[in-house]
Amino acid sequence: MNERTRLKKILEYTGMRRNTLAKVLGYTNSAIFYQIETGRNGISSNLAVRITDRFPEIDQNWILTGNGEMLKLTEIKNDGKTIEKIEFLENHIKGQDARIEKLEHTVRELQSLIPKKTI
C-alpha cells in the first residue's frame, strides 16, 4: 500500500479533511499532505509520530511502511472500574431515554393544543 493510500485511510478513519487534520497535528496548513499526495514527499517519521501521538490506536509502523494493520489490537483490561463505568453509562443512557420520551410526550400534547389551520 502506497503512502497516498495510507494517508487517505487515515483521513477516512479520523473523519477529518486534510486541512483540519493538519491543524490538529500542529501544522498551519495541509501542504504536507499535498506533498505526499503528489508523490513529492513521503510520510516522514515526524508526521507519523504526530499522528500516533494524537491517535494512539493507529500503528506507527503501518503509517511508515504499510505493513500490518492500521489499527493496533488493544487488550481490554478488566479492573472492575471498567465494568462500573459501563454500568453507570448504561443507567445514564436509560435515564436520558426516559427523559427524551417524556419530553416527546409533552411536545405531542402541546402540538395538540395548537389550532389547525384550514385552507
Q: Please give the pLDDT value at position 105.
A: 94
Quote the pTM value. 0.62
Q: Please give the pLDDT value at position 34.
A: 94
Reduce the secondary structure of the chain to three states and give it as a string.
CCHHHHHHHHHHHHCCCHHHHHHHCCCCCCHHHHHHHCCCCCCCHHHHHHHHHHCCCECHHHHHHCCCCCECCCCCCCCCHHHHHHHHHHHHHHHHHHHHHHHHHHHHHHHHHCCCCCC
Tens place of pLDDT per residue across the chain (119 aa): 899 999 999 999 999 999 999 999 999 999 999 999 999 999 999 999 999 999 999 999 999 999 999 998 766 566 677 788 888 889 899 889 989 999 999 999 999 998 887 66
